Amino acid sequence: MDTQTHTRVANSAPELSRRALFRAVGGVALAGTSAHLGSASASAASAHLPHAEPVDIGIDPKRLQVAFDLLDKWTAGREPLVPGGSILVGRRGKIVPPHFSGRQGPEAGAPPIRKDAMFLLASITKPVVYNAAMLLVERGELNLTDPVIRYVPEFKANGKESTLVGHLFTHTSGLPDMLPNNAELRKKHAPLQTILDAASKETTPLFKPGTKLSYQSMGTAVVAEIIQRLSKKPIVEFLKKEIFEPLGLKSTSLGSKGFDRDRLVRVQVPDYQVNTDFSWNSKYWQELGAPWGGMFSSPEDFAVICQLMLSGGAVGGVRLLAPATVRMMTTNRLDDYPDLPEPVRRTQPWGLGWRLNHPGTPGSWSDLLDRNVFGHTGATGTTVWMDPKTEGFCILLTNAIREKAPWRLVHLSNAVAAAFV
């Protein structure tokens, strides 16, 4: 690992006191000496956060059990509402052991969900890719205020010359969510690079950048291409070397190559994917490594990423991001665009890659979380959120397609949020 890139906490972030830092990372690495922090074993210590009883980290066990019982109820029976899932809650650097319910897949006769299950995170992949891009910002290789064409010249096609890199991070670029021929490309088992090239060359903006908000997976695809060109590494390799390995995450990957497919949780799929060889459960899609939705992870692995963001970019003895970077990524950046309508900026806040909660709208994650809570959702039935005020986070991973009953994840979030005391 490049020690200039992933700085040990003991030698960085002088603005954090030793006591504050100890609390932020749960004492995983700081229980030892600074010399230990500088050793090669320090990153391995961050693989999982320490377990704790709910009451010891300010979580009401009876209220948390409400969320567990809800998931158990939905996953019970021959035809469950939710085939399977897991809930993990953490606070101040420690976690309550994950609760698993249900089955490994939606098909009849699927085995019980594995304790080493890896979930398809869907769009929760996006903020992790944006985290990777911010590493390049910190290194002076990428500017968010530059036109995208500085990094990908062919992006200028179809009138996209004025699109800034930052527009891709905030869903204000005007790019479509998916390519018009998305299904056809998948039917042909198109390689990832073909899709990334099309996202740059073939997309036509829906509106002038910076004037509206429209969720855009293809914006993330273009960011992945920028990362590849600047780093000269495939996006899958960049995430592995720059994020997953430094954090000691052994059950996390963009795409499933190298992992036992039996560990992969199979998910309900949209109607157009039923009985196809390109569905979310196909070997093609699982291994594609789509930067807008192809990441797999376990609950305990992803808890490390949540703690990283809550701790200002450092966890388990490894500083991955600067505190300034995390602040910009997790505060409302829509205020930076003067032509964006005020109601949008106020009610649908976005950071840089990470979304903020949208209270009072159908997109809210919970009735008990305010607009400073940040996180993301995924179409496969996943939600993660982090609350800077309580220093807590919640990971909800299911395999029930979200669009058919998004309220279930909100119910679970309400029960979890009520457990923080």
Alpha-carbon gap, residue 405 to 105, rounded angstroms: 18
For the stretch 178-208, pLDDT in tens is 999 999 999 999 999 999 999 999 999 999 9
For position 16, what pLDDT does the model report?
36
Give me 31's structure tokens: 């229980």
CATH of the domain spanning 127-236, picked from 3.20.20.220, 3.40.50.150, 3.40.50.300, 3.40.710.10: 3.40.710.10
Q: Domain 7-30+49-124+240-418: which topology?
A: Beta-lactamase (3.40.710)
Cα torsion angle, 182, 185, 186, 190, sign: negative
For position 240, what pLDDT does the model report?
98
Residues sharing a CB contact under 8 Å with residue 123, sequence separation 6 or more, in sequence order: 217, 292, 293, 376, 377, 378, 379
CA angle 352, 140, 293 (to 5 degrees): 35
For position 47, what pLDDT does the model report?
76
For position 222, what pLDDT does the model report?
98
Give me 330's structure tokens: 């997790």
Do the beta carbons of residue 221 and residue 292 sit within 8 Å? yes
**Taking the model in full, what pTM does it have?**
0.90
Residues sharing a CB contact under 8 Å with residue 30, sequence separation 6 or more, in sequence order: 9, 10, 18, 21, 22, 37, 317
Query: What does 32-81 look like in DSSP terms, one character per residue?
Result: S-HHHHTSTTTTGGGSSPPB--GGGGTB-HHHHHHHHHHHHHHT-SSS-S
Q: Which residues of the chain have pLDDT under 70?
A: 1-46
What are the two backbone dihedrals, phi and then psi, of residue 182, each rounded to the nearest 5 degrees?
Answer: -55, -50
In terms of Cα–Cα distance, which of 132, 162, 138 is closest to 337? 162
For position 257, what pLDDT does the model report?
97
For position 38, what pLDDT does the model report?
33
Domain boundaries, the chain: 7-30+49-124+240-418, 127-236
For position 11, what pLDDT does the model report?
34
Alpha-carbon gap, residue 329 to 331, rounded angstroms: 6
DSSP 420: B
For position 6, what pLDDT does the model report?
53
Are 7-30+49-124+240-418 and 127-236 equal in CATH topology?
Answer: yes
Helix axes 217-231, 192-201, angle to 10 degrees: 110
